[in-house]
A and B are shown apart, each in its own frame.
Chain A
Amino acid sequence: MKCRHLERKLHLLLDGRLTDRDARRVKAHVADCASCRASFEALASADRALAAEPLADPPQGMAEAIARCAAAQALFRRRVLLPRWLEVFTLAGVTLALVVVGVIVSRFVALSVEVESLVLCTVVTVSIVLSVGLAAFGCFYYAPDI
């Protein structure tokens, strides 16, 4: 058995994942080879130390603090009334409807040029405000990516 092929098997031996036959062969080699013995001892001492480490207790009051933060976040959490795609279509529909109403009003109602411009400006402004408002609402209330 050659030492350079043995490293992975040393790890498997440590984890008890070698067959009995392989385990016997690796142990025999480790007994004869000083370099592999040193490697195995280093691995085994690390393994023993790490396995012996007890679980630390979380700080007192940590769970309560987390629950309080979560409850505070929940107050600002957006309630999902409609799926996201439906909201986008609803917004587009409302905007379009406003534009159509504006155009109809300006076509069929005899208005002066000033009033017609005012109606169109109002429709465009309302559409922009609605779009920006909904986008900001979405950005603020949607949870961030992990």
Chain B
Amino acid sequence: MNLDAGCLALELLRATLYRESDRDSDLVARALQGDPTAFDELVRRHQKRIYNLSYRMLRRHDDAEDVTQEAFLRAFQTLNRLRDKAAFGGYVGRITANLCVAWARKKQREPATSVSGESLANTLADPNHGDVAEIGRRIHEAIAQLPPTERLAIVAYYLEDRSYEEAAQFLGIGLRAFKTRLYRARKRLRKMLCDDMATEDQDRL
């Protein structure tokens, strides 16, 4: 009985997954044939993930909106190059990742602003968390100082529910390269946070 229920659940999961990728594939095919509603639906299906990748990379809503728009339009312009039509999500994700890195590099040359961490700080401004809003702010300031490719690795990892494989696929890089970037990013982040804490301790003394 339990085995039957398990098989049924597996079949349902398989059918759901099939429909999801099949839906993207169908929408891409229709968009290529000139159906405007198909691309509209593709945007609606993927906008949240793409917008959040941009926002977590750039920490400004207006920049994130610009990058999201640019990414979808580039994906639209080059849709005929997409071989695996079911992989639209990864395709637009890679375009967004490249745009974010270029955008972040451009911003790095400009003077730093202290807009980072607004969303996280709000989330953590919970009485049960104590001083975690402050910790969130510090963490985001440290992340903003990471090189863009390393920052992207951290952002993609947490956006993809801590899966190395899915984050690597999302960014269009190999698993080994992704792990290296994530390791370097965290190492740098850890060093910055530890230095920060040490400075604070010295100030207290």
Residues on A facing B (Cβ under 8 Å) = 7-8, 11, 15, 38-39, 42-43, 45-46, 49-59, 62-67, 69-71, 73-74, 80, 143-146
Contacts and interface: CB of A to CB of B under 8 A. Distances in A.
Contacts of A15: 162, 164
Interface of B: 34, 36, 39-40, 43-44, 47-48, 51-52, 55-56, 61, 65, 68-69, 72-74, 76-78, 80, 95, 98, 119-120, 123-124, 132, 135-136, 139, 142, 154, 158, 162, 164, 182-183, 186-187, 189-190, 193-194, 197
A75 to B, nearest CB: 10
A67 B162 contact: no
Given A11-B186, A38-B194, A50 B48 contact: no
Contacts of B55: 56
A52 B69 contact: no
Contacts of A145: 78
Given A53-B120, A62-B47, A67 B36 contact: yes
A45 B175 CA distance: 25
Contacts of A57: 48
Nearest to B44: A63
The DSSP consensus for interface residues of chain A is: helix
Given A45-B193, A50-B158, A58 B135 contact: no
A50 B133 CA distance: 12
Contacts of A143: 77-78, 80
A50 B51 contact: no
B116 to A, nearest CB: 12
B193 A70 contact: no
B65 to A, nearest CB: 6
30 contacts: A11-B187, A15-B162, A15-B164, A42-B194, A43-B190, A46-B190, A49-B132, A49-B139, A50-B158, A55-B48, A56-B51, A56-B61, A56-B119, A57-B48, A58-B47, A58-B68, A59-B65, A62-B51, A62-B69, A63-B43, A63-B47, A66-B72, A66-B73, A67-B40, A70-B40, A70-B76, A73-B73, A73-B76, A143-B80, A146-B74
